[in-house]
Structure 1
Amino acid sequence: MEKELYYVNLNPISMETISPVKVNDGQLIEYEIEATPAEKKALEDLLHEVQAHDMELGNMFTFKHFDDQVGDIDRNEFQRGLNDVFEELYRLGTAETKQKIEEIHLINDDQ
């Protein structure tokens, strides 16, 4: 399958949206990737999963968010997911995207 060019932003409101069109917004960091439809779908699923951990809706209406242990678990799950997102963005990324990610040291060099 042929790869197509897509743009990914990690804005919490629209994190799982992968667009074929670049958004010209100076405040928004977009990562350019080249992906097959299957790779795009897998990344969308990963983004959706990570976004779900960003703020567990169930914890908003309880006092769980005041429990440091529960909060730490949620934060750790979110961070692990975000690490996975950046690894996938790097893998699918164009040369410019790979350079951006390397510059901000978001890839684990221990692998």
Structure 2
Amino acid sequence: MEKQLYYVNLNPISMDTISPTRVDDGQLIEYEIEATPAEKKALEDLLHQVQAHDVELGNLFSFRHFDDETGDADKNEFQRGLNDVFEELYRLGTAETKQKISEIHLINDDQ
């Protein structure tokens, strides 16, 4: 299957949107990737999962957010998901994207 060029941003509002066109916004960091339709779909699913864990609606209407242990578990789960996103962005990324991610040390080299 042939790979196409896509742009991914990690803005919490539109995190799960992978676009074939670059957004002309100086405030937005976009990661350029090359992916097959199946790889694009898998990344969209991963982004959607991570975004869903960012703010879980059930926690907004309960006192769970006052429980440090629960809050820490939620933060750790979100961070693990974000780590998975950056690993996938690096794997699918263009040379420029791989350089950006390497420069800000978002990939664990210990693996």
Report the TM-score, using the length of structure 1 for normalisation. Answer: 0.99
Q: 1:6 aligns to what SS in structure 2?
A: strand
Equivalent residue runs for 1:11-50 within 5 Å: 11-50=11-50
Q: 2:39 aligns to what SS in structure 1?
A: helix
Q: Distance in 2 between matches of 1:3 and 1:96?
A: 17
Report the TM-score, using the length of structure 2 for normalisation. Answer: 0.99
CA drift at 1:5:
0.2
Identity of aligned residues (%): 86
Q: Distance in 2 between matches of 1:37 and 1:71?
A: 36
CA drift at 1:85:
0.1
Q: Distance in 2 between matches of 1:66 and 1:48?
A: 26
Aligned residues: 111
Stretches of 4+ aligned residues off by more than 3 angstroms: none
Structure 2 alignment gaps of length 5 or more? none
Structure 1 alignment gaps of length 5 or more? none
List per-residue Cα deviations over 1:15-65 (Å, max 9, x = no partner).
000000100100000000000000000000000000011011100011101
- 2:67 corresponds in structure 1 to 67
